[in-house]
Structure formats: structure tokens, C-alpha cells
């Protein structure tokens, strides 16, 4: 992923560290900071847990210099009251465009308090936002970075994974379990011999509604065998 994350005027060392950690988790290597609050930046870089890519982060005095080698420049916003002059995409279609970028793509995040300024935004080609609820739009910086990078890294057509990882039990095994369960029902008095057939059918249907997998058959048989053995002892 030829993506550069640019934090503009970040103020909080924990957020800088969190952004770097999300980048590391999600496979984005290049971090740049523009005009950071220096105490915070130094603190973040010198933290014991600092990601290597944070230690390698480069600092720029202006957005213009930070994006100079990029061919796509995208700003992030939670759009509040400001009137936006840019095309605005939700993060999903936006991420698709970023993945298609040729050359370096820059993704800008503004300061925790004010976001990107109009001046910062003027360096962007378009803007992207995470679909948050209207009453609570402004996300934590580290979390916004995580969500954007997740969406950019996400496979376009994620393969649907089947839940049924394991083969179902065969009908012979299912019936064996059914019979043992019925046996337990009889020995314990649950199945009444007089109206037994209808109860038997109910139990049989119920067992077939379960998704018993092949690998669970032996455990079922083990439990039932043991229970039957104990129940038998009782009827002697």
C-alpha cells in the first residue's frame, strides 16, 4: 500500500502513538507530521511502546511540503458547520479510489480539536468521512486512522467464509445419537411407553434440527453412553 498518513498539528502524544500503532497493525508504513505540538511529538516518539514507523516519522513545516511527492491528496473530515468546497466521499468508495491511486496517496488527519483548517483542506483533492451518527460525528484521532486504514486495506471482494467449517454428521450417526437419547428418555421416564411414538418422532425431529458436526459425534456418544450406563444401574 503506497499510502502516506499525515497528521496535521496533532496535540496529544497518546493519539500520535495510537495512530502509529493502527498503521503498523494495518500495514501502512509511512507517517508524516506537519507542525506538531513538539512536546507531544517528542513524548510519543520516545515512548517505550512507540512503533518503529513512529520513530521514523518525518516532520514537515507545512502541508504543502508534506504532500509534495504524492499524486493523490485526500483530507478527512467529520463535517460540522463548515461549508465544504470539496467533493466528499464516504470512506468506503473513498478507499476504493485510494487503492486505485498510481504513485503515493496522502491521507490527512487534522488536529484533535479543530480538524483540518481551510488552508490544510485547500491542498486536498477531495475529502473522505467515516459514516458516524449525526449527534456524535467527531471521532477520536487514533480510531479514525484505524477505521480509514482498515477500509483501505480491506479486500475489495472479501471471500465469503462458510460458517460450516466442519462436515455435518452422517444421518447414521444422527440416528445413533437419537436412539441413545430416546433410550435415556425411556429409562428416565421422559418417554411415556403409551404415547411413546409421537414423543419419539418429536425427539427425532429435534435432533435433526441441530447442526451436529462429524467431529462432535464422538463426544455426544461418549456422554450418552455414560449416562445410559448409569441409568441402567438404577433400574436394576
Q: Which residues bind a copy of itself (CB under 8 A)?
A: 14, 18, 21-22, 24-27, 51, 87, 89-90, 92-93, 96-97, 126, 130-133, 136-140, 142-144, 146-147, 150-151, 153-155, 158-161, 163, 165, 181, 184-185, 187-190, 202-203, 206, 209-213, 216, 219-220, 222-223, 226-227, 229-231, 233-234
Q: How far is the CB of 26 from a copy of itself (least distance, A)?
A: 6
d(CA 180, CA 162): 31
User: Which residue's CB is nearer to a copy of itself, number 66 or number 145?
Assistant: 145
Least distance from C-beta 199 to a copy of itself, angstroms?
Answer: 9
Nearest-approach distance from CB 61 to a copy of itself, in angstroms: 28
Residue number with CB closer to a copy of itself (24 or 117): 24
Write out the DSSP string of 45-86: HHSTT--HHHHT-EEESSHHHHTTT-SEEEEE----SSPP-S
Cβ proximity to a copy of itself: between 37 and 150 the closer is: 150
- Which one, 64 or 188, has the nearer CB to a copy of itself? 188
Rounded to a whole number of angstroms, the minimum distance from the CB of residue 44 to a copy of itself is 14
Could you identify the residue written with the cell 463535517? 79
Separation CA 127–CA 93 (nearest Å): 11
Q: Which long-range contacts (CB under 8 A, 24 or more apart) does 70-73 make?
A: 70/4, 70/103, 70/104, 70/105, 70/106, 71/101, 71/102, 71/103, 71/104, 71/105, 72/97, 72/98, 72/101, 72/103, 72/104, 72/105, 72/106, 72/125, 73/105, 73/106, 73/108, 73/123, 73/124, 73/125
Whole-number minimum distance, CB 60 to a copy of itself, in Å?
25
Q: Which is nearer to a copy of itself, 104 or 227 (CB)?
A: 227
Select 104 or 231, whichever has its Cβ closest to a copy of itself: 231
Torsion of CA 194, 195, 197, 201, to 10 degrees: -150
As given in the structure block, the three cell numbers for residue 230 are 448409569
From the CB of 202, what's the least distance to a copy of itself, in Å?
7
Amino acid at each position: 500500500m503506497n499510502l502516506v498518513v499525515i497528521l496535521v498539528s496533532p496535540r496529544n502524544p497518546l493519539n500520535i502513538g495510537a495512530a502509529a500503532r493502527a498503521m503498523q497493525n494495518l500495514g501502512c508504513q509511512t507517517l508524516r507530521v506537519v507542525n506538531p505540538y513538539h512536546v507531544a511529538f517528542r513524548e510519543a516518539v520516545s515512548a517505550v511502546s512507540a512503533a518503529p514507523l513512529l520513530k521514523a516519522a518525518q516532520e514537515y513545516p507545512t502541508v504543502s511540503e508534506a504532500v509534495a511527492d504524492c499524486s493523490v491528496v485526500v483530507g478527512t473530515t467529520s463535517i460540522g458547520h463548515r461549508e465544504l468546497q470539496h467533493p466528499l466521499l464516504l470512506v468506503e468508495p473513498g478507499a476504493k479510489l485510494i487503492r486505485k491511486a498510481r504513485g503515493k496517496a496522502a491521507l490527512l488527519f487534522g488536529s484533535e480539536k479543530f480538524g483540518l483548517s481551510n488552508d490544510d483542506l485547500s491542498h486536498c483533492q477531495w475529502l473522505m468521512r467515516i459514516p458516524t451518527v449525526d449527534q456524535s460525528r467527531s471521532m477520536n484521532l487514533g480510531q479514525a486512522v484505524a477505521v480509514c486504514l482498515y477500509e483501505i486495506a480491506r479486500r475489495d471482494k472479501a471471500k465469503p467464509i462458510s460458517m460450516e467449517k466442519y462436515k455435518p454428521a452422517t444421518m447414521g450417526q444422527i440416528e445413533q445419537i437419537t436412539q441413545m437419547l430416546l433410550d435415556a428418555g425411556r429409562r428416565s421416564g421422559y418417554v411415556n411407553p403409551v404415547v411413546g411414538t409421537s414423543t419419539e418422532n418429536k425427539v427425532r425431529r429435534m435432533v435433526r434440527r441441530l447442526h451436529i458436526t462429524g467431529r462432535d459425534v464422538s463426544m455426544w456418544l461418549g456422554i450418552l453412553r455414560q449416562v445410559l450406563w448409569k441409568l441402567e444401574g438404577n433400574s436394576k
